[in-house]
Amino acid sequence: MSDKETPLKKQGESDGVWMTFRRDGDEGHCVIKGEWTVGGGAVRSASLEWSGILSSNLDLRAFRFSASEIESWDSSLIVFLDLCRRELADSGKGFDPAGLPAGILKLLGMCGSKRPKKTGSDFSLEAGVEFFETGLGRFRETILGLACFWAEWLSAFLLLFIGRSGMRLRDLIMACRSCGASALPIVTLISFLTGLTMAFVGSVQLEKFNAKIYIADLVSLAMVREMGALMVAIVMA
What is the predicted pLDDT for the residue at 48? 86
Residue 41 lies in a domain: yes
Q: What are phi and psi of 56, to 5 degrees?
A: -95, 0
Instruction: Tell me the pLDDT tens digit for each residue of 61-85.
Output: 889 898 888 888 888 888 888 888 8
pLDDT bucket at 123, cuts 50 / 70 / 90? low
Instruction: Please say if the pLDDT value at position 7 is more than 80.
Output: no
**Residue range of the domain that includes 215:** 169-236
Mean pLDDT of the 94-101 span: 86
pLDDT value for 143: 94
Q: Are residues 97 and 24 in the same domain?
A: yes
CA dihedral in degrees (23, 26, 27, 29; nearest 10)?
-10
pLDDT at 101 over 50: yes
Using CA atoms, how far apart are residues 141 and 237, in angstroms rounded to an integer? Answer: 24
Q: How many domains does the chain have?
A: 2
In a domain, 162, yes or no: no
Is the pLDDT at 192 greater than 70? The verdict is yes
pTM of the complete model: 0.44
Instruction: Tell whether 22 and 103 lie within a shared domain.
Output: yes
Q: Is 34 helix (H, G, I), strand (E, B) or coil?
A: strand
Provide the 3-class DSSP secondary structure of residue 72. Answer: strand
Residue 123 lies in a domain: no
Which among 111, 127, 151 is the end of a domain? Answer: 111
Mean pLDDT across the chain:
81
DSSP state of 112: -
CATH at residue 53: 3.30.750.24
Picking from 110-114, 139-143, 148-152, 166-170, which range would have the lowest pLDDT averaged per residue?
Answer: 110-114
Q: How far apart are CA 234 and CA 237, in angstroms?
A: 5
Least confident among 2-16, 34-48, 142-156, 177-191: 2-16
Q: Would 29 be classed as within a structural domain? A: yes
Closest residue by Cα to residue 104 from 75, 83, 69, 84: 75
Residue 119 has pLDDT above 60, yes or no: no
The rounded distance, in Å, linking the Cα atoms of 88 and 152 is 64
Asked if the structure places residue 87 within a domain, the reply is: yes
Mind listing the pLDDT tens digit for each residue in 201-226?
A: 989 888 888 888 899 898 888 888 88
pLDDT above 70: residue 120: no
For the chain, percent of residues with pLDDT exceeding 90: 7
* 125 in a structural domain: no
Distance of CA 184 to the CA centre of its chain: 40
Whether residue 122 is contained in a domain is answered as no
Say which amino acid occupies 218: L
The answer to whether residue 104 sits within a structural domain is: yes
In which band, very low, low, confident or very high, does the pLDDT at 151 lie, cut at 50, 70 and 90?
very high
What per-residue confidence (pLDDT) applies to 38? Answer: 78
Residue range 188-194: average pLDDT?
Answer: 86
pLDDT band per the 50, 70, 90 thresholds, residue 59: confident
Q: Are residues 177 and 105 in the same domain?
A: no
**Which of 89, 83, 90, 99 has its CA nearest to residue 33?**
99
Mean pLDDT of 191-200: 89
